[in-house]
């Protein structure tokens, strides 16, 4: 088989061999053997060689509870609720070696079915893991193992599909098929919740096998015939290259492999992968045999050393990269590249209260975490993203402190003496005096703690800008000031305003306050005053008749004094000037109807058109001598008067009722004289 001048490379998949769940179950069985032996409820793993070895050590596989006469190990595939009940009822001591990832599925199924949801499982209905999952369902559970199964279910059982439904997968399911299943089911279910329960280790194993097979001329898949994940690996590899399956090294189809190799003339790549129930010793032996077949010993590798590389050591405080596998309402499930199941509780994902895990991360995200707790017995590790974020945030806030930079955060809580702002994932304390909340005025009775807390609560959940005024990295303490950030921003706005202001320049400002004589408008760091007479062309008694605090008002600069920091504004639109309209429609001598709007000791003002009033002097009110204007005219009364004078420069109009009365009296006298002359003529 030697090929002079040709290269033959044998590559073993890094993920080949025992998964964490199988390794954990096997360790439990080995300990049981050391203590005198016992039983496994079903074959511990789908590998006949391992099962035989255990039996030699007095750990026997049985299929029925009735056969158990000592301590039993529940295999990594798990069992249903009824099995647990029978074991407890009979007082049988057992070691539960159910894979934590399978236990998680059991909890999902129990919780969902307890709330009335039915369960749909993608997997092999005869597989012990699937049977165990079904055994935890309190409603209706159905199993599908192909696209055709789902199509038939959708077609024949619409009631099941349209009911509240959860969809999960056997942990060793094929990822590519699972994606197809989800896509099809989403188009037909109106009340569906999907949980991605394929084990990340399984998905990685399948993806690596597919990649290795696409780069190889031959693939060897090692594992038990009954192993579901081994069968799936074989199916995946056969789509990419010539693939051989063997349960062990002595069952390798050597002659067939040699025949295939003899037909290859170029450099040859051989890949080896194995199911999750395959011991490393068997994989190593397969690798040795393949090396002998190809006489490529010079390229041999220390397989166990390579396998050891895949086992990462974790410890509390260890900072790791985590791949988000799934997210629910209470936690994120992650893979950290070890044989542990990783969990990040909701309160360790973010420092922002009230956020659900799905608001922080999503499946597929890669995040930095720190290990907070390890349970090797259950194969579980707990982590915190929040603490990593806080450490990174502390560094950023320290940089902001040194650079006097402004940062942004959200007020998350009110505590004694101030508020907590979450900024860059770090808690920042802002003293009450630095929040910018107005305190009691000097001379007034001091505020009670309750009154202060009530004021501070107005900031809750608001995004604020702040300056960092103290950082104690050793204690992880950061102090900030909202007030300083607001002041810096205001100072910058004021400087910009005074550098750009000019008479006639227009602004849109917000009405901040008002007095009887006018309103104060915020122009962006600087307040300007609009006198009441400059608010509208109409006569008003108080600014509140036309504007309110908080209104946006378009104004223009009439005058300003940079030294005294005063700005006089106008808000009247020149195009709406009623005097322009008045002068175009009225002249001296015209008779108008005007409404009395006010009376004074020297006369009365009457509105000719909105915005233009005329003065009826006391001497022009009546033909008689008037000493009290109110005896002749009342506010609201409409009178007829004659325009006697228009002063365009001073915008003044003089009216006279007296002249109109005199003219009317003269006309009446003329008419009377005419009638008398006619009468005398007739008599004569």
The yes-or-no answer on residue 226 being catalytic is no
In the block, residue with structure tokens 């990593």:
388
End-to-end CA distance of the chain: 165
Beta strand pairing call for 506-515 and 518-522: antiparallel
DSSP letter for 441, please.
P
Neighbour-count burial for 176-214, b at 16+ CB within 10 Å, e otherwise: ebbeebbeebeeebeebebbbbbbbbbbbbbebbbebbe
Dihedral, CA of residue 245, residue 246, residue 251 and residue 257, to nearest 10: 30
Contacts of residue 625, Cβ cutoff 8 Å, sequence gap at least 6: none
CA–CA dist 398, 402 (Å, integer): 6
The single residue of 129, 210, 247, 424 carrying the catalytic annotation is: 129
Which residues touch 624 (CB under 8 Å, ≥6 apart)?
A: none
Compute, in degrees rounded to 10, the torsion defined by CA atoms 132, 138, 139, 141: 0
Buried residues in 283-294 as b, exposed as e (16+ CB within 10 A): bbbbbebbbebb
Contacts 24+ apart (CB under 8 A), 304-309: 304/280, 306/12, 306/14, 307/14, 307/16, 307/17, 307/280, 307/283, 309/14
Q: Which of 310, 283, 101 is nearest to 202 (CA)?
A: 101
Exposed (0-12), middle (13-18) or buried (19+): which is 263, by Cβ within 10 Å?
exposed
Report yes or no: 147 and 185 within 8 Å, Cβ to Cβ.
no
The helix or strand, by DSSP H or E, that contains position 591, with its residue range, turns out to be strand 591-600
Neighbours of 36 (CB within 10 A): 10
Round the CA-based radius of gyration of the chain to a whole number and report it. Answer: 46
Q: What's the distance, CA 277 to chain centroid?
A: 41
Active site residues: 129
């Amino acid at each position: 088989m030697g090929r002079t001048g040709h290269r033959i490379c044998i590559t073993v998949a890094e993920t080949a061999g025992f998964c964490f769940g199988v390794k954990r179950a096997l360790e439990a069985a080995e300990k049981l053997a050391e203590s005198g032996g016992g039983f496994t409820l079903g074959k511990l793993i789908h590998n006949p060689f391992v099962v035989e070895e255990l039996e030699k050590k007095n750990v026997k596989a049985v299929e029925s509870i009735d056969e158990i006469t000592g301590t039993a190990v529940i295999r990594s595939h798990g069992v249903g609720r009824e099995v647990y009940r029978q074991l407890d009822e009979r007082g049988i001591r057992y070691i539960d070696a159910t894979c934590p990832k399978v236990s998680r599925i059991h909890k999902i199924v129990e919780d969902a079915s307890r709330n009335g949801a039915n369960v749909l499982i993608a997997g092999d209905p005869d597989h012990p893991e699937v049977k165990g999952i079904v055994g935890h369902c309190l409603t209706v559970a159905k199993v599908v193992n192909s696209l055709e199964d789902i199509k038939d279910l959708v077609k024949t059982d619409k009631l099941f599909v349209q009911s509240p439904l959860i969809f999960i997968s056997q942990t060793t399911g094929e990822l590519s098929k699972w994606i197809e299943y989800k896509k099809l089911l989403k188009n037909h279910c109106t009340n569906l919740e999907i949980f991605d329960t394929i084990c990340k280790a399984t998905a990685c194993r399948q993806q690596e096998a597919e990649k290795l097979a696409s780069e190889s001329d031959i693939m060897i898949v090692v594992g038990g015939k009954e192993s579901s994940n081994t069968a799936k690996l074989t199916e995946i590899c056969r789509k990419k290259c010539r693939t051989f399956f063997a349960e062990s090294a002595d069952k390798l189809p050597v002659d067939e492999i040699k025949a295939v190799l003899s037909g290859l003339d170029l450099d040859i790549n051989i890949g080896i992968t194995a199911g999750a129930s395959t011991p490393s010793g068997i994989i190593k032996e397969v690798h040795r045999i393949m090396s002998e077949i190809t006489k490529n010993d010079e390229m041999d590798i220390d397989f166990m050393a390579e396998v050891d590389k895949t086992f990462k050591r974790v410890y509390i405080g260890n900072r790791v990269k985590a791949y988000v596998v799934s997210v629910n309402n209470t936690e994120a499930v992650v893979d950290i590249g070890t044989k542990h199941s990783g969990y990040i509780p909701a309160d360790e994902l973010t420092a922002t209260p009230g956020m659900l895990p799905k608001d922080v991360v999503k499946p597929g995200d890669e995040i930095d975490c720190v290990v907070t707790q390890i349970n090797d017995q259950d194969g579980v590790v707990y982590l915190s993203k929040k603490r990593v974020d806080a450490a990174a945030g502390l560094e950023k806030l320290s940089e902001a402190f040194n650079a006097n930079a402004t940062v942004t955060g959200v007020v998350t809580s009110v505590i004694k003496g101030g508020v907590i702002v979450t900024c860059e994932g770090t808690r920042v304390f802002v003293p009450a005096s630095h929040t910018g909340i107005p305190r009691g005025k000097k001379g007034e009775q001091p505020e009670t703690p309750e009154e202060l807390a009530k004021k501070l609560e107005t900031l809750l959940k608001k995004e604020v800008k702040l300056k960092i005024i103290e950082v104690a990295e050793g204690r992880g303490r950061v102090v900030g000031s909202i007030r300083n950030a607001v002041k810096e921003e205001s100072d910058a706005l004021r400087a910009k305003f005074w550098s750009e202001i000019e008479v006639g320049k227009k602004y849109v400002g917000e009405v901040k306050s008002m007095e009887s004589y006018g309103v104060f408008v915020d122009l962006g760091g600087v307040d300007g005053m609009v006198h009441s007479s400059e608010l509208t062309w109409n006569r008003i008694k108080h600014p509140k008749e036309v504007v309110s605090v908080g209104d946006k008002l378009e104004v223009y600069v009439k005058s300003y004094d940079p030294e005294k920091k005063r700005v006089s504004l106008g808000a009247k639109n020149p195009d709406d000037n009623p005097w322009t309209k008045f002068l175009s429609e009225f002249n001296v001598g015209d008779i108008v109807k005007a409404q009395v709007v006010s009376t004074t000791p020297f006369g009365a003002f009457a509105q000719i058109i909105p915005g233009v009033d005329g003065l009826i002097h006391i001497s022009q009110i009546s033909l008689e001598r008037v000493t009290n204007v109110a005896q002749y005219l009342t506010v609201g009364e409409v009178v007829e008067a004659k325009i006697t004078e228009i002063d365009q420069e001073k915008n003044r109009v003089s009216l006279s009722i007296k002249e109109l009365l005199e003219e009317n009296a003269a006309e009446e006298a003329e008419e009377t004289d005419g009638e008398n002359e006619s009468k005398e003529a007739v008599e004569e």
